[in-house]
Structure 1
């Protein structure tokens, strides 16, 4: 008697497609911006297979042995995780730096299969590009394992319902409820909560379960009409191809943080996956076509590939500092190809020497088989010595990694330094305002350079705040993490309405995403024709950086009172002064950032009226005949 399902045509190939989508999304995000949907394809496959396995066991034996079911799941999932954690933690310790940050809570999440909820509780972001989270990909494994823990009990209850259509409707209702909950809780700023949550991201698992119930036909009063059945039979392969094409379109178009993804997009992906599975397993042609050699090879090793690909990428990026953002495409291709090769080697070894033996003979059987291949006392002694030495080294490395892990990344340290500088300046300004009553400015007053500058920016400007304050005393800085160009018009409009917007406006908001010409035009409209505008170029290993800088340069060239502060060109030869993320400046980098803005101010300046001084004369916003005092740049 066997309760193990036979191999179903097409599923290995579909797994291969799914893992390829995820890997390409992580390694080359510009190629497949929606490749993250591969995880949802895995969810549907898992829900389908697990439900079919449980129903098959009940049909054959009259019961579901929960202990045996969970043991099989553990033998499938846990053994590959042990070397993964030990090897990668040791490698992270040898590399050092930012890759060690948060390693303790990541291991807690991995060991408990609660990575998703541990991440949510710690406010970690799936979409953050500044924190090299080593085991981030284990969130989906946690969602599946939590499903495996709860679903057998729910299925036992459902199987008590004799009407098959009612059972199907109940499971479909669970899927729709999960998808609706995702749409309701979705937040555009950072959708990590709905992406990670087992409650909001289980609809793919329920969709697969519903398909398994439907194909079992147990308890259904009657099948479809003969004509409909014949029509579906004739169109099965075509529907499968169309659904697969729909998945590829989704992988090319769905945005990872966009509203359409979380309010229907991922549910549609799950439904399309269900159609592909149905077409593959219910008839000849389409299923075997999916199981082509390369796809089947990837599918059989998909678990190991998924486990290894992300942490290997993180470690390769940490060990291979960018050669310069002047060629981000070439650098990214090199990193991706090296990480891909290492991933295939690790996943292949795991499949050949660990997953297959444990799956076929169990842990003890695998040990006995290995022992039988070692002949003689000397061979066994060598084997035990190698295993013991390796285990000791990896255990020591993992322990050292946990002990030496810093509390936050170098980028976070620099951002925190900038936040402290801004907070201190604000407190000093408030104290000065309470102590003194400033008289009205006269035409002969010469304010400090920074008194005439409003700066609005992202975390790069924030990390440079102390140096900006040193170079431009009195500068007003409004900068925060993850801010994009789209936020600038509203921020500047609010300052203009409050009367706090100064004559020179510096905007540094190109790091976190593409920009549009309409956003720059809106900024120019808000600040008005009497204010000067300086746009700071971006420096980051991001696909959009080159386009952002081209747009900024084009806009500044078309407007007389707009100048470019070329941070990108200034910092490119000096990346050693940046944090490990190769984006955020330390003190030396902050001085380069301030110098880039100073150079832009000088280009806007009028010829100096006397030797030794460069004068930057500003128009009077009120239209007064009294000229505004010059901004002196020594």
Structure 2
């Protein structure tokens, strides 16, 4: 492929691929659970960025013999800063008008945004990407930080690479960088913990950028004449690209943020598939490139940066402004649709009146047009612009000063943490001994008596944590292991550890599923570990998340399949009393915690009321066919 100038170049299909990436992210965030792997859109962006920036640097180096770093970074600033500045000022001002949780850590977030270090600021402050308790207005800017750090450092590395005459050596060096980042993510990923560090880290999440760079080096010397002559290439590349695009769609439908496979090769596979899609699109005459260049996709793709910037803050602000708005079912789709409409409108206006003028004419020329005239109609416009910008800056300053110490959900969680810490410091009641691992399970009449608190182990997420004081009051001596952002997939290892240590009590309460889907195999592993001699209560989930219906269905099936398992109907009990929850419609206060406890009590009572089974109908023994009984 010929090498056009950086500004005039149009690479077929890339705008359409950008559109697909940003739409996946929008569906993932604005309609939680509808596309569980939509977060991979960010990794598609990384590959595109690595490909474009490396190609631009190589072209300038080859055509001029040097790289003007100041001009390169100025172009990046013109591209990124105008939309970002407008977003920060407008959304911070609106957050001040709404107040409450949306102001949490606002100053810290703004600092990370303007220094392009949001990812490391979040890591340094233990702010989890997966934490649903705090809305974090500018959480989505972590990926912009990773890209900007790449823009700052990568040109300095490409220059010495360009001096290496062998293209194979150059490719090998960049491929080693990509592999090192991927291995770092896999090695540092904590299977039973929070994956924020490896997801946010520039070191652990740069493989997509590097894979894009590899593709740019491989294609940097393509010529139209060579590619047109290679008919097999022109046929094969689009086919492989189309198949890879289809694979990305499938992956976006099945990936979940709690799956270890995502961090141990899954995201690398997404980056490689994206590189193949790009390769298949930019091949001359590619039908894939033409398909991805359809006008609607190109329109979205050229505005994808603004759409990505605005979608998450707009959604957070809407949720905060209308806390009683149902966020699941038809109402949830309506909320997401309103957020999407506002997002696209804001991005289009920013692109038309801010980003494009500054990108084309520069900061100084645009500022001169805005602030350069003080007479007549132009003077009125200038004055209005000064007033609006001044008001936004002032309101943003006031918003930072008005930051609360913690959000309402976080306050409830801290209350639960304090209760658990206080109970830990007190003498621990002696629990009723439970069956040791490997011993025969008790018969039908040997189910343990109704449990006292000293006989109960409770494992859960932040919902159980917020309910801890009420659980302790209802079941004195209960052992509660509950943490924020816990995924159900972490539970089997926790339960096994308790069994191995001999501290698992005769009744187990599980309160998981708020933070992501629950797999049947996870529940069955837990049941296998504890055996039939334990009572198990699983608490279903109330949260405005798309995966909740599936979670509650899975928990209900699990309870139906096992006689020693009962479902606590938390969602049904709290559905008409959402005012007893924090504004996130997830975490209970004191009165909500009492409803949670009542559901658990009712489930335990149902287990206690079960009549004993007789003979071969015991739930852990197989039925004997009638013919064999004779």
1:207 aligns with 2:211: yes
CA pair 566-283 structure 1, distance change in 2 beyond 3 A: same
5 Å matches for 1:339-358?
339-358=339-358
TM-score when scaled to structure 1?
A: 0.84
1:406 to 2:409 alignment: no
- The answer to whether residue 198 in structure 2 is matched with residue 176 in structure 1 is no
Tell me, in whole angstroms, the C-alpha distance in 2 between the residues paired with 1:354 and 1:401: 24
**5+ residue gaps, structure 2:** 431-448, 613-630
Q: Deviations over 1:330-372 (max 9, x none)?
A: 2320111011000000000000001111111112222445579
- What RMSD in Å do the two structures reach over aligned CA positions? 3.2
Give runs of aligned pairs for residues 242-253 of structure 1, distance below 5 A.
242-253=243-254
Separation (CA, whole Å) in 2 of partners of 1:142 and 1:8: 25
2:544 to 541, 546, 558: 541
Q: How does 1:165-564 map to 2 (within 5 A)?
A: 165-188=168-191, 189-217=193-221, 229-286=230-287, 287-324=289-326, 328-369=328-369, 377-429=375-427, 449-488=452-491, 491=494, 502-517=505-520, 519-520=522-523, 523=526, 531-557=534-560, 562-564=565-567
**Mapped contact 1:534–1:562 kept (Cα < 8 A):** yes
State TM-score, norm by structure 2. Answer: 0.85
Label 1:124 to 1:452 Cα distance change in 2 as closer, same or farther (>3 A). Answer: closer
Whether the aligned pair in 2 keeps the contact of 1:3 and 1:60 (CA below 8 Å) is: no
Distance in 2, Cα, partners of 1:90 & 1:33 = 32
Match of 2:167 in 1: 164
- CA–CA separation in structure 2 for the residues paired with 1:66 and 1:173: 25
CA contact (8 A) 1:27 1:313 kept: yes
Moved more, 355-364 or 483-492: 483-492
What is the CA distance between 1:408 and its match in structure 2? 2.5
Counterparts of 2:258 and 2:566, CA distance in 1? 32
Aligned 8 A contact 1:460 1:584 in 2? yes
Q: Provide the secondary structure at the position in 2 that maps to 1:429.
A: coil
2:140 equivalent among 137, 140, 150: 137
Shift of 1:71: 0.9
Distance 1:484 1:3 in 2: 45
Contact 1:12–1:295 under 8 Å retained in 2: yes
Larger Rg: 1
**For each residue in 1:466-498, what CA deviation from the matched residue of structure 2 results, as whole angstroms up to 9, or x when unmatched?**
122223333333333333445555655665666
SS at match of 2:179: helix
1:16 to 2:19 alignment: yes
**Alpha-carbon separation, structure 1, partners of 2:576 and 2:321:** 20
Give the secondary structure class of the aligned counterpart of 2:375: helix
Aligned residues: 588
DSSP 3-state at the match of 1:424: helix
Matches of 2:518 and 2:34, distance apart in 1:
19
Gaps of 5+ in 1: 434-445, 608-615, 618-634
